Amino acid sequence: MAIDYQERIPNNVDLGSNRTLQRALEHWQPEFLKWWQGMGPTDFQASDVYLRTATSVDAKGWATYGHVRMPEYRWGIFLADQDPNRKIGFGDEYGKDVWQQVPGEYRSVLRRLIVTQGDTEPASVEQQRLLGHSAPSLYDLRNLFQVNVEEGRHLWAMVYLLHGYFGRDGREEAEQLLGRHSGSIDNPRILSTFNEPISDWLSFFMFTYFTDRDGKFQLKSLAESSFDPLARTCQFMLTEEAHHMFVGETGIGRVVKRTLEVMREIGSDDPDAVRKMGAIDLPTVQRYLNFWFSSSLDLFGADSSSNAASYFANGIKGRPDEAQYEDHLAESQTYELEIPDGKGGVAVESLPMRNAMNEVTRQAYVRDCEVGITRWNRTIAKAGFSFALQLPSTRFRRSIGSWAGTPTDPAGTPISAEAFEAGRTQWLPTEADRAYVQSLMQPVTEVGKMAGWIAPPDRGINSQPVPYEYVRLA
């Protein structure tokens, strides 16, 4: 039976004429659908969801909107258009032709990077699988599912690379991407942030703001890779990733907006009084922010890293927006890294720049995180309150890098373990915070209605009004 690959699996990789790839994907696709049914969003599989589907990479086709059932979503394979003159943009091979095939000596390193990136995509779908039952509106429910199907597509994007360029071991890795599960004791996801449960919508918005943004910076680094198919895959993924961070930024913004309305109404910023009105007090928002920001920082890896240095030297993984740097070799520069001095203070270590590439990327990420904070704080100030949300120091609550195991306060000042424990309830979500937020998680499924803890969005999706049946519940 002839299968129309363009119809079933929209793609721009000429799948129709690549028999090897077809065979690999024909075997993998039913496994993916089984995984989606078993580990993807619970229920709602028969509901029609107003989703964006990529059917090509051009301006017209990459965002096609319509109501579809999620299992019928067309997960496609897309790479940004090839630039035939593209050269290696950094490292020891700077200026040479990029690679269209995987060089033998970098095979296992590239496979590992692709698998690690690929693993996060289905992991987040698993983390979020129960959230549909407590969505604050149909608009939000639709956004959740949009993020979920696109993370599914990102998995496809990585599986395409594994199948297309890594032969048998690539196929085995692709299978294991469906075998590991978020939070599993026996077979967890690779990175720890992706094993944290996401059982409430405040966490979901924090995750899409902070953790999807980590994804953005990983993709930006990989979009610089000399392995051209990887670079082009990641470039296209970035277009979708932008919506996930939009969901996070506007989601947190709407929570803050609703809280401010309540604060004005009752003329008080007292957290208990705010909670009595069914909104989320700003100190709780800050504690969730501290948790997800610090957890996401660890995803960039150790601040001093010989792996990062060799990825850069070999042209495997660059800096985000490599073109903005003047010196693409970064051979003789140094990076001044602040580390604990072991006596309760801070020392400065001078690192070869190439060893500091994880930290360079992390700092670019931190600057990007500030944008939303500034915007939310403007809303708070406009409402006439003096509270300001803040990113904690990158030293705070770290599990990876020089600051792992050194307790600090959110400002980054080293403190004793006892002082950290004493401060914990002020700085990080408590059981009571989580229970309160959880108590708000009641589904709202009436067209145009919002839960009481969140303000409506300023506008709908794809020029639809906010009151629109974004999900037709089955």
Here the tokens at position 449 are 């209605």
Query: Positive or negative, the Cα torsion across 4, 9, 13, 15?
Result: negative
Here the tokens at position 91 are 């490292």
SS3 content of the chain, % helix, strand, coil (to 5): 55, 10, 40
Contacts with Fe ion in 250-309 (CB under 5 A)?
A: none
For residues 419 and 407, is the Cβ–Cβ distance under 8 A?
yes
Q: How far is the CB of 149 from Fe ion (least distance, A)?
A: 11
Q: How far is the CB of 398 from Fe ion (least distance, A)?
A: 23
Q: Which is nearer to Fe ion, 224 or 241 (CB)?
A: 241
Whole-angstrom Cα distance, residue 216 to residue 213? 5
Q: How far is the CB of 251 from Fe ion (least distance, A)?
A: 14
What is the edge-to-edge ordering of all strands in the sheet holding 471-472? 64-69, 48-53, 471-472
Q: How far is the CB of 368 from Fe ion (least distance, A)?
A: 14
Phi-psi category of residue 263: left, alpha or beta, with phi > 0 → left and psi -120 to 50 → alpha:
alpha
Whole-angstrom Cα distance, residue 165 to residue 152? 20
Q: Which is nearer to Fe ion, 242 or 474 (CB)?
A: 242
Candidates 61-69, 208-216, 250-258, 403-411 — which segment interacts with Fe ion by CB under 5 A? 208-216
3-state DSSP assignment of residue 191: coil
Candidates 96-104, 243-251, 300-308, 377-385 — which segment interacts with Fe ion by CB under 5 A? 243-251
Q: Tell me the pairing of strands 334-340 and 346-352.
A: antiparallel
Q: How far is the CB of 78 from Fe ion (least distance, A)?
A: 13
For residues 199 and 180, is the Cβ–Cβ distance under 8 A?
no
Interface pattern 103-142 for Fe ion (x via CB under 5 A):
------------------x---------------------
Size of interface with Fe ion, in residues (CB under 5 A) = 6
Q: How far is the CB of 121 from Fe ion (least distance, A)?
A: 5
Q: Which is nearer to Fe ion, 50 or 194 (CB)?
A: 194
Q: How far is the CB of 445 from Fe ion (least distance, A)?
A: 25
Q: Is 244 in the site for Fe ion (CB under 5 A)?
A: yes
Of positions 212, 228, 249, 303, contacts Fe ion by CB under 5 A: 212
Burial code of 57-82, b = ≥16 C-beta within 10 A, e = fewer? beeeebeeeeebebeebbbbbbbbee
Q: Is 214 in the site for Fe ion (CB under 5 A)?
A: no
Q: Is 220 in the site for Fe ion (CB under 5 A)?
A: no
3-state DSSP assignment of residue 221: helix
Determine phi and psi for 64, rounding to 5 degrees: -100, 125
Q: Which is nearer to Fe ion, 214 or 303 (CB)?
A: 214
Candidates 50-58, 104-112, 137-145, 147-155 — which segment interacts with Fe ion by CB under 5 A? 147-155
Q: Which is nearer to Fe ion, 154 or 254 (CB)?
A: 154
Here the tokens at position 278 are 């069914």
Of positions 52, 154, 319, 354, contacts Fe ion by CB under 5 A: 154
Q: How far is the CB of 275 from Fe ion (least distance, A)?
A: 31
Q: Which is nearer to Fe ion, 125 or 373 (CB)?
A: 125
Q: How far is the CB of 127 from Fe ion (least distance, A)?
A: 12
Q: Which is nearer to Fe ion, 121 or 359 (CB)?
A: 121
Q: Which is nearer to Fe ion, 212 or 298 (CB)?
A: 212
Whole-angstrom Cα distance, residue 75 to residue 153? 5
Size of the chain, expressed as the number of residues it contains:
474
Closest of 255, 258, 253, 242 to residue 368, by C-alpha? 242
Candidates 150-158, 185-193, 370-378, 450-458 — which segment interacts with Fe ion by CB under 5 A? 150-158
Q: Which is nearer to Fe ion, 50 or 207 (CB)?
A: 207
Phi-psi category of residue 409: left, alpha or beta, with phi > 0 → left and psi -120 to 50 → alpha:
beta
Closest of 38, 36, 49 to residue 445, by C-alpha? 49
For residues 361 and 381, is the Cβ–Cβ distance under 8 A?
no
Q: 348 has which bridge partners?
A: 338
Whole-angstrom Cα distance, residue 191 to residue 453? 31
Q: How far is the CB of 186 from Fe ion (least distance, A)?
A: 25
Candidates 126-134, 148-156, 164-172, 454-462 — which segment interacts with Fe ion by CB under 5 A? 148-156
User: HSE on the CB side for 103, CA within 13 Å?
Assistant: 14
Q: Which is nearer to Fe ion, 159 or 353 (CB)?
A: 159
Q: Which is nearer to Fe ion, 106 or 207 (CB)?
A: 207
Site residues (vs Fe ion, CB under 5 A): 121, 151, 154, 212, 241, 244
